[in-house]
Amino acid sequence: MSKENLLRITLFVSVLTFNQVAAETFTLQKLSQIHKAKSVKLSIAKILHNRGLDADAAEALSDEVILDEIVFSEMLENLLNGCTYVKEEEVYAYLSREVLFRKTVRLESYDYLLAMVSSIIKRPLDKQTLSKLQMVASDNKLLDTRLV
């Protein structure tokens, strides 16, 4: 067998192996995103239920406001990673109030993020936080344009 044929066979086998591994990895990542997205909706619905709303009504409200679960959870993750001043529980509590009053949740809007973080931490924001929120908003805008 020539070196060229040996090289072709090796390349062919490695491509077959990599395709299976890549497909499994991408499937696991997608399942993880879906699970995380559902947990965001369920967390908000659970907070609403704990505040006295019927469980079915709480789920219906969170379904009504949060349209694309996966993109919403990615945007929320961007916020939590980009702005370390806010905790996940505080963001969920804020979002549950927004959902309760059927307000539009716009995590791609700098103005919305600014109002939300200001409301949560209850003090003026420094320049570093403002720039981080600007980066989060622009990243979230890119995620939002993926839908269109």
- Could you give the CA distance from residue 11 to residue 130 in angstroms, rounded to a whole number? 50
pLDDT at 31 over 50: no
pLDDT at 136 over 60: yes
Question: What integer pLDDT is reported at residue 19 of this predicted model?
Answer: 61
Three-class DSSP category at 125: coil
More confident residue, 90 or 13: 90
Question: What integer pLDDT is reported at residue 54 of this predicted model?
Answer: 92
Per the CB < 8 A criterion, the answer to whether 61 and 100 are in contact is yes
85 DSSP assignment: T
Listed in sequence order, the DSSP H helices in the chain are 3-50, 55-65, 69-82, 88-100, 110-121, 127-145
Would you place residue 35 in the very low, low, confident or very high pLDDT band (cuts 50, 70, 90)?
very low
- Could you give the CA distance from residue 63 to residue 82 in angstroms, rounded to a whole number? 26
Q: For residue 24, which amino acid is it?
A: E
Question: What integer pLDDT is reported at residue 33 of this predicted model?
Answer: 52
Average pLDDT value over all residues in the chain: 82
Percentage above 70 pLDDT, the chain: 77
Report, as an integer, the average pLDDT of 23-47: 65
124 DSSP assignment: P
pLDDT at 22 over 60: no
Question: What integer pLDDT is reported at residue 87 of this predicted model?
Answer: 92
Report, as an integer, the average pLDDT of 25-53: 72
Task: Show me where the domains of the chain are located.
Answer: 3-145
Would you place residue 70 in the very low, low, confident or very high pLDDT band (cuts 50, 70, 90)?
confident
